[in-house]
Structure 1
Amino acid sequence: ECKENIGQLLLVELEAKSPSFMPLIDDEWFCSKIIVTTPEGDRILFPCHRWMSCEKKLTLRDSVGVSSLYNIAMPANIYSLLNIKNMYINKAGIFFFISPCWGLFLCLFFVEYVEKIWKTDEFFGYQFLNGLNPMIIKCCSKLPEKFPVTNEMVKSFLPDTSSLESEMKKGNIFLCDYERLRDLEGNEINKKKQYLAAPLCLLFSTQGKLMPIAIQLNQEPGPGNPIFLPSDSKTDWLLAKIFVRNAEFNEHELNFHLLHTHLMGEVFTVATMRNLPSCHPLFKLLIPHTRYNLQINIMARSVLISEDGVFPQFTAIGNNSMMTFLKRAASSLTYSSLCIPDYIKERGLEKIPHYYYRDDGLKLWDIIFNFVFGFVSHYYVDQDVQADDELQAWLTEIRKNGQLEQSQAGFPKSFCTVKELAKFVTMVIFTVSAQHAAVNSGQFDLGGWMPNFPSSLRCPPPRQKGETTRQSVLETLPDVSTTVNAIAVVYLLSQEGSDRNPLGHYPEELFGEEVPLKLITQFKNNLQDLEKKIESRNEKLDLPYTYLNPRNVDNSVAI
């Protein structure tokens, strides 16, 4: 106890000693925070939130965010050397958390609903907007040469006085192109060859519905690669859609789920911990959004994408083709594809109706951006952004270790303004929270009925029309073992963690300043307002879109 003021407190040192009766025991402790009360009655918060071992000292800074611009003398390298245990899952393991009965009931209800409607063209089209992968569809103003759909082929699916060309001019024709799957060799499962397709799918937006009007199952047009139409036999058309859904499985799980959220989240996490000291305002802002990301990815590498993991054992893409696909996906990743306002505009999807991923995602982006901009503006003006070496080093490492240095990727080389910094930080938070929720949470809802989301197919794409039967469709779908294992995985990946932190909830006290605390409160209030609006809209929908309701969005990639 100090009864006299000793001046400004900059650091607090902690040391835990082994009990005298057990000197050889390293009894680890988890310290949440230290609060120092001055003789004048002021309370100074020193956040910790890390593990400490006996006989080792921890040095803590107070909760005031300080960047390198302030040049306050500190012990060498007091960086974010958090014990990784703090970021790992408890021994029970998030992957094995069993949801309450009510959550299970809702999941099964959704699966039964999908089972009833999965064959319909309307639901097939709906999933490109509000399913697991709302990221691949784009407006089509000109057909690619490799997809020679003619007006004669599709005129019966368009209004009587219209044509394919006029509907493209109106912005009503949309394209999904799975080019990244081209020429990939199928896996073997239980010594049986599996098959992949690289389809192109053309869709028409009409009367509030998105309807498929043409499907080609491979990239090279020709006699052995027919264009399937809704007017073909029911089994021909159904099998063509099943091959598209299998292509969706690969694009979704490996590109837009694993790469765009998990692996990019890992790049953000490691760069933050390496380059920003724990007193840096951006470290304090971002560290809650890194929670569990590293451990989840370690488990994914071990259980899902290792040589003896789920993908080599139970998917058509297997291990070798998976690596080729991921390289293609990484080379096509851009800054704009991680910024939802830019990516919606880039794909020409501003006006298509009933695109709830877009509607909710844009609102969430704006809420996060306003929070981040207010936060960054409190600590920086433009000149400060340019002069913060730690901040610039953080960006450089993200570009370098994320393999994002190609000019076509469009990632900034440096930060020059507060607005540029705020947009980038918004992208980071949105990616690991909202975007991950959008592509993760519905995996069992939409994939629990296997024919709607098959991980593998046992027969090659049909080379001509008129030969598909109900029996050949069944023979193409995965076998029982593959189905059971794939469904088990998507079920586990869809579950909530037992200790989740929803977006905007920061249980660890990292800030003691008035402005950041007010911004956090306003952030929570804005998220609650959006939650009410989404729930009000969903009450009027036959199939509610819930994945971007803030209450269903975690702070980080935590599952």
Structure 2
Amino acid sequence: MTTYEIKVKTGDRFGAGTDANVEIVLLDGSKKQTKPAYLDNWFRNDFERNQLDVFTIVDETDIPEVTEIKLKRDQTGLFSDWFVDTIEVTNVTSGVSSLFPILRWIRPDVDIHFTIYDTFLPQYDPRPEQRNLEIKEKQMLYEYQVKRPGLPVQIKNLPDDEQFSDSHMWDLLTRKYTIMAGKTVEMIFGQTAWDTLEDMKSVFSNIFGNPLDMDVWHTDENFGCQRLNRVNSNLIRLCTSIPDKFGVTESMIAPFLEGFTLSEAIANNRVFITDLEILEGIDCQKGLHCTVPLCLFFVNGKGQLMPVAIQLYQQKGPDNPVFLPNDPPYTWIAAKMWYNLADCHYHQGVAHLGCTHLIMEGFWIAANRCLSPSHPVYKLLGPHCYALLAVNTRGFDALLRPGGYVDKTMALGSDGLSELMARGIGQWRMNMEGDYPEFLKQRGVYCRDGSILPTFYQRDDSLAIYDVIRSYVTDYVSLYYDTREKLLNDAEIQNFGQELFKPKSENGCGILGLPFENGRFTSVDELVVFLTSMIFTSSVVHAAVNFAQYDTYGYFPNYPPMLKGPPPKNK
């Protein structure tokens, strides 16, 4: 007789636990198998959510290494649904353990087989019928919906697999109410004007500390640093000539170029520009304003990016002056604040919500519709899309509904921000904006030796992480696609490409600029580039636009989403 130890980890998801009867059979991949055994510990409530249960069974069949299990549950009890994370089986005599990553809901009254590590290309799966049935079921759960014109596809109804667990929701609520403690919310979102700058500093608690930019918010060094190393580094580009619409002259900026002529500074890659033309023509909320600015920068002898000229609207004219660092101090500070108000809207609408959260939602829906949980690419992408649909579903409504957060706090309001998002997403291409090295090259700021923008630390760190991700993806993909034929014959990965490529009107995602033609992967390198881009966007790009928000937005003059009164039309 042989003793086996079986460890079952039930998932941490709403409704994951079960009261059903669970039966298991152990196999070795040939003809050897144990008799069906019920998993039940007396006087213990087994299979509760987020619980690890350990069982011991004894069987006359000795399987030194268990390579397959057969699992079955019935519908006993009030709560029979069951989501399993992992099952680990150990032959106590041989000491060999086998891990089975289940990571799915177990259907009732059906024998479901899992192989060790449970990772196959579809053409090599020994149980294709089980696999195809699972995909068909997920296609009914993961349906596309366009919630606002011009925005990417989103999930129609949030599946149970994507719901926050109770513990996760508790963590979020705890943080929410900690932040809301006292009179902070009343002071921040009240309708009265601030009296002094010092009043604004009074809202910060010891829990979070002061925002990093609070004491330097008004300096040119900080303003330049924001373009590189805060929440929105997507706009800065090398300037090779001054646009005709920008009223900058050589004489007006000569004092700020450290002895260079403008042409010399341009030739030496010392001049950079941002242009928020994408905001042109978008209506603001009644009584509020949003600029459509251009800004010129110079890299000084210390390597710092310094602003040298700001024009708040697109076309030069007498009521649209070029503001300069030697203007009256509060005039120059006001120009920078109005620039940052526009930059704030681009950051939140395009760089953050549009081109990370919403763009990536379609990718993950398509992955669930096309790839089995046993597919190696599904397993690769899963951790990077964790909670994405849950966050988007809750956040989208809270942010953009009429009278919601955006209407209360941002000049464009939800309608204007939605229009801005649609414009930004319409310009997004996976092989350009979605490919970080190419995006840098397009803007003339790609550099690995510090010769261009030496204080662009976010770029330098991001490129290093990009290289690591691409190297990892290359190694991982080569394990399963060691020949081109395996990729071409993988029906699931090809269906994935097709759904991403198909227009939204044909029940696809309509992703533009995919690094493979006509929705078909024809080389392993195309797949590597695609997966690297998706993982990098979901992790590094999102981290860059998200995690510096407190230090950037926390002190309101530093990065205001709303200002009262009109922008200045003279100095």
Question: What TM-score does the superposition give when structure 2 sets the normalisation length?
Answer: 0.73
Report the Cα distance in structure 2 between the residues aligned to 1:220 and 1:16, rounded to whole angstroms: 71
Report the Cα distance in structure 2 between the residues aligned to 1:241 and 1:196, rounded to whole angstroms: 13
Shift, 1:16, TM fit = 4.2
The aligned residue for residue 390 of structure 1 is: 492
Contact 2:384 2:538 in 1 (8 A): yes
Report the Cα distance in structure 1 between the residues aligned to 2:241 and 2:561, rounded to whole angstroms: 31
Q: Which amino acid aligns with 1:455?
A: P
Report the Cα distance in structure 2 between the residues aligned to 1:215 and 1:58, rounded to whole angstroms: 65
Higher helix proportion:
1
Contact 1:383 1:416 in 2 (8 A): no
Report the Cα distance in structure 1 between the residues aligned to 2:253 and 2:367, rounded to whole angstroms: 52
Of 321, 345, 365, 2:441 maps to 345
**SS at 1:212's partner residue?**
strand
CA distance 1:229–1:412, shift in 2 (3 Å)? farther
Correspondences of 1:73-152 after superposition (within 5 Å): 73-75=127-129, 76-79=132-135, 81=138, 84-91=159-166, 92-98=169-175, 105=206, 107-109=208-210, 111=211, 113-152=212-251
CA distance 1:313–1:84, shift in 2 (3 Å)? same
Contact 1:26 1:53 in 2 (8 A): no
**SS at 2:85's partner residue?**
strand
Q: Which amino acid aligns with 1:201?
A: C
Greater RCO between the two (CA within 8 Å, min separation 6)?
A: 1
Identical-pair percentage: 31
Correspondences of 1:14-413 after superposition (within 5 Å): 14-19=72-77, 25-36=78-89, 43-52=97-106, 60-70=114-124, 72-75=126-129, 76-79=132-135, 81=138, 84-91=159-166, 92-98=169-175, 105=206, 107-109=208-210, 111=211, 113-160=212-259, 162-188=260-286, 193-207=287-301, 208-335=303-430, 336-349=432-445, 350=447, 351-380=452-481, 381-400=483-502, 401=504, 404=510, 406=512, 412-413=517-518
Report the Cα distance in structure 1 between the residues aligned to 2:116 and 2:133, rounded to whole angstroms: 16
Report the Cα distance in structure 1 between the residues aligned to 2:252 and 2:100, rounded to whole angstroms: 69
Contact 1:18 1:55 in 2 (8 A): no
Report the Cα distance in structure 1 between the residues aligned to 2:206 and 2:461, rounded to whole angstroms: 25
Shift, 1:87, TM fit = 2.8
Contact 1:186 1:318 in 2 (8 A): yes
Q: Which amino acid aligns with 2:442?
A: E
Q: Which amino acid aligns with 1:354?
A: T
CA distance 1:95–1:217, shift in 2 (3 Å)? farther
CA distance 1:371–1:201, shift in 2 (3 Å)? same
- Greater shift, 438-447 or 380-389, is seen at 380-389
Aligned pair count?
A: 451
Contact 1:140 1:175 in 2 (8 A): yes
Shift, 1:88, TM fit = 2.2
Report the Cα distance in structure 2 between the residues aligned to 1:386 and 1:74, rounded to whole angstroms: 18
Report the Cα distance in structure 1 between the residues aligned to 2:516 and 2:318, rounded to whole angstroms: 42
Q: Deviation per CA, 1:305-347, whole angstroms, max 9, x where unpaired?
A: 1223211222101122122211110111122212221112221
CA distance 1:334–1:73, shift in 2 (3 Å)? same
Report the Cα distance in structure 1 between the residues aligned to 2:69 and 2:500, rounded to whole angstroms: 30
Q: Which amino acid aligns with 2:86?
A: K
Shift, 1:125, TM fit = 0.3
**SS at 1:243's partner residue?**
helix
Contact 1:115 1:449 in 2 (8 A): yes
- Could you tell me which runs of 5 or more consecutive residues in structure 1 were left unpaired when the two chains were aligned: 20-24, 466-559
**SS at 1:145's partner residue?**
coil
Report the Cα distance in structure 1 between the residues aligned to 2:462 and 2:340, rounded to whole angstroms: 24
Shift, 1:4, TM fit = 4.2
| RMSD (Å) for aligned C-alpha atoms | 2.8
CA distance 1:105–1:55, shift in 2 (3 Å)? farther
CA distance 1:416–1:11, shift in 2 (3 Å)? farther
- Could you tell me which runs of 5 or more consecutive residues in structure 2 were left unpaired when the two chains were aligned: 1-33, 36-59, 142-157, 180-203
Shift, 1:225, TM fit = 1.2
The aligned residue for residue 450 of structure 1 is: 556
Q: Deviation per CA, 1:8-32, whole angstroms, max 9, x where unpaired?
A: 966633314424xxxxx12443322
Report the Cα distance in structure 2 between the residues aligned to 1:452 and 1:129, rounded to whole angstroms: 15
Contact 1:26 1:54 in 2 (8 A): no
Report the Cα distance in structure 2 between the residues aligned to 1:290 and 1:88, rounded to whole angstroms: 13
CA distance 1:59–1:178, shift in 2 (3 Å)? farther
Contact 2:121 2:376 in 1 (8 A): yes
Report the Cα distance in structure 1 between the residues aligned to 2:271 and 2:420, rounded to whole angstroms: 27
Report the Cα distance in structure 2 between the residues aligned to 1:133 and 1:375, rounded to whole angstroms: 31
Contact 2:69 2:113 in 1 (8 A): yes
Report the Cα distance in structure 1 between the residues aligned to 2:516 and 2:300, rounded to whole angstroms: 36
CA distance 1:337–1:186, shift in 2 (3 Å)? same
Residue 566 of structure 2 is aligned to residue 460 of structure 1:
yes
Question: What TM-score does the superposition give when structure 1 sets the normalisation length?
Answer: 0.75
Contact 2:70 2:111 in 1 (8 A): no
Contact 1:32 1:50 in 2 (8 A): yes
**SS at 1:116's partner residue?**
coil
Contact 2:239 2:273 in 1 (8 A): yes
The aligned residue for residue 531 of structure 1 is: none
Contact 1:15 1:58 in 2 (8 A): no
Shift, 1:43, TM fit = 4.2
Contact 1:246 1:456 in 2 (8 A): yes
Q: Deviation per CA, 1:219-260, whole angstroms, max 9, x where unpaired?
A: 122222111111111121111100111111111111111111
Contact 1:203 1:212 in 2 (8 A): yes
